[in-house]
A = this chain, B = another copy of it.
C-alpha cells in the first residue's frame, strides 16, 4: 500500500501491542493527568476503577507511538523494495473518541486500524481522504479504546 488507490474499505492494519506498566502509567499521569486512580492502587481503590489504570490520553498517546513506528517500518520496507512511497497529509481531525473500558496496570493492548471510507478530494486532486476506525483491544478481547480518524493520502500520479 503506497498510495490512496492501493487501499480498500475493510483493510485492517495491525499496529502492534503494548503492555502498560504501573511505572509508566504513574509517570504519564503525574505529568498530565494526576487523578488518584491514575497515580496509585490506593487512590484507585476509592474510585469505581478499583485499581491503578492509565489516563485515557496515555492510551491515545500509545496509539500514536505504535502508528508512527508502523509508518517507519512500512516506509523502510517500500524503500528497500524500490517502491514509491505515497505521502500522508495532515489529518482533519478525529471523531467519536471513546474510552470504553479501563486500561489497568499490566494490561496488554493491541491496536489496529480498519479502513471504513475512501473519498477523492475535489478541492485537492493530488489527495484522497481515508477514514479509519482505530481500536485498542485488551488481552481479554475487550475493546478499551476507539476513535474514527481521517487522513489525507497522496494519490498515485497519473
What is A's interface to B at a CB cutoff of 8 Å? 31-35, 48, 55, 57, 60-62, 64-65, 68, 90-99, 147
Residues of B within 8 A of A35 (CB): 68
Which partner residue on chain B sits nearest A100 by CB separation? B93
Question: What is the oligomeric copy number?
Answer: 2
- Inter-subunit contact A64/B55 (CB<8 Å): yes
CA distance A90 to B94 in the complex (A): 20
Residues of B within 8 A of A93 (CB): 96-99
- Inter-subunit contact B97/A31 (CB<8 Å): no
Residues of B within 8 A of A48 (CB): 90
Which partner residue on chain B sits nearest A89 by CB separation? B48
Given contacts A33-B64, A55-B61, A57-B64, 15 further A-B contacts (CB under 8 A): A31-B65, A32-B61, A32-B62, A32-B65, A33-B61, A33-B68, A34-B68, A48-B90, A57-B57, A57-B61, A91-B99, A92-B98, A93-B99, A95-B95, A97-B97
Q: What is the minimal beta-carbon distance from A73 to any residue of chain B, in angstroms?
A: 13
CA distance A95 to B147 in the complex (A): 9
- Inter-subunit contact A65/B96 (CB<8 Å): no
Q: What is the minimal beta-carbon distance from A16 to any residue of chain B, in angstroms?
A: 14
Q: What is the minimal beta-carbon distance from A18 to any residue of chain B, in angstroms?
A: 11
Residues of B within 8 A of A62 (CB): 32
Residues of B within 8 A of A34 (CB): 65, 68
